[in-house]
Chain A
């Protein structure tokens, strides 16, 4: 199984000090967090994509390219790449380039985005969100697999005799996940292509995740890519840990209470019982994470959100130390022991990555 972190890239005031990092600081901190993820033995770093304040990651391949140059093993990914408002041709070019620079350590997650105005800012119509995700990905899929593409669609200008360059590394396109909270069309799309399905999972009750993953597995088997158990599933998670559970709760509460998205609403305790948020000891995080398997089955990738809501860099790096030293090694072993033969341990790796591992 692969373990990693995913970042939203929010610039948020630390509610305990009133200090707001600059954009420059946040970007540099994000790099430090990614480097730390590699140092503590995590497998994946994924960044979100946003085109409005208070978020900094508008240019994911620039960030990931920089991280690629400074790491050896970390898989660089996204959470998510906006398939609706980006030109699929540019996605094909950018991520193929990144794949070459990172020697294959790249996969990406398609998403529709949740910020209404981004659609018109990029010349699209939000009411066409799902059809855009379907058509754009159909083109991207083709651009990475066919050297010369003739294309005509509803949303993008036509292409005649177009070759997207560079071609994917060794002719193997990056592995693709499709991320969704509750749109069955996206689970269906992931199943159709035999791609991975990533359930955001965080900030939402598990029922959404359970339902979407079940649908994806059934349809994955329906389209003949393998058995339901062999479908490639990833999940999000949100954690804050200290040696003693009470210390974790005490320290995280002001960040929780003032957090964007869910702050000023339910209590930390209520939200922890309603969503996968786990604030407590490393052991509590281990137990909670293992329990995800009860409702999604054996899965291949677990990403944690650890750097949002204004948490200072020092605290985030401490969280990564705890993840790397106390949590992930146990989870790796436990999940591996539970995994039946025939179920893939990880999402497909690029052959160049597999070769490095074997060397």
Chain B
């Protein structure tokens, strides 16, 4: 069986970062579930902080540095992508959005994606559904049903009578996402095609 490749993209800025921590936990939960089904899994975490200048330069010049291109290739070539951002000013962070702005809009089509976000208070948790989910819907990614929001207080508390605690939400998200990744593991690479000139002319009905 082919080794499955999971890439987590973390837009956390501090070190250590709770965004990175959530990305790691989601990655771990997914990997654990896939390993149970005897899939070989290869994981990687991309810290966008390390690419911040490359990302800005790409906006200025119109092309990515070699390092940024390599990262984009690894993300778009992954069998599953875990995308985690801190909440800034009522949405994903600018750095997070900027990275995905640089990816070809078709490059994540049908790629399973697990969403996560972190913030100081649980009041921002709908960012997952009101900001992140539409972004990945636009990219035609297969967004996993459960996305995980971690507020500061979640790292130090269990659940309550209405909500499961963070570990349970992470486990559930990992299980659902692992199923999507496993189901898509036969995804074939699409080749770039040349449209012969006769066809281009014929489309215009010219001789």
Contacts and interface: CB of A to CB of B under 8 A. Distances in A.
B183 interface: no
Interface string A170-212: 0000000000000011001101100000000001110000000
Contacts of A134: 200-201, 204, 206
Interface stretch (A10-18, A60-68, A72-80, A260-268): A260-268
B200 A203 contact: no
Interface in B168-207: 192, 194-197, 200-201, 203-206
Most buried by B among A188, A219, A271: A188
Given A135-B204, A138-B201, A265 B57 contact: yes
B203 A192 contact: no
Interface in B126-185: none
A185 B57 contact: no
Contacts of A205: 63
Interface string A252-283: 00000000011111100011001000000000
Interface string A129-161: 011001100100000000000000110000000
Interface in A191-241: 191-192, 203-205, 215, 219, 223
A62 to B, nearest CB: 31
B65 interface: yes
A60 B61 CA distance: 27
B35 interface: no
A188 B197 contact: yes
Given A134-B200, A274-B65, A262 B60 contact: yes
B60 A203 contact: no
Contacts of A131: 200, 203-204
Contacts of A262: 60-61
Interface string A308-350: 0000000000000000000000000000000000000000000
B56 interface: yes
Contacts of B59: 265
Contacts of B57: 265-266, 270
A151 B51 CA distance: 53
B109 to A, nearest CB: 20
Contact of A215 (B66, B194, B196, B201): B194
Contacts of B16: none
A169 B193 CA distance: 39
Contacts of B194: 184, 188, 215, 219
Nearest to B192: A184
B197 A270 contact: no
B62 A203 contact: yes
Contact of A192 (B56, B62, B197, B204): B197
Contacts of A153: 204, 206
Contacts of A261: 61
A189 B203 CA distance: 14
Contacts of A274: 61, 63, 65-66
A266 B194 CA distance: 33
A320 B124 CA distance: 61
Nearest to A264: B60
28 contacts: A131-B204, A134-B201, A135-B206, A138-B201, A138-B204, A138-B206, A153-B204, A153-B206, A184-B192, A184-B194, A185-B195, A185-B200, A188-B194, A188-B195, A189-B200, A203-B62, A204-B62, A215-B194, A223-B197, A261-B61, A262-B60, A262-B61, A265-B59, A266-B57, A270-B57, A271-B61, A274-B61, A274-B63
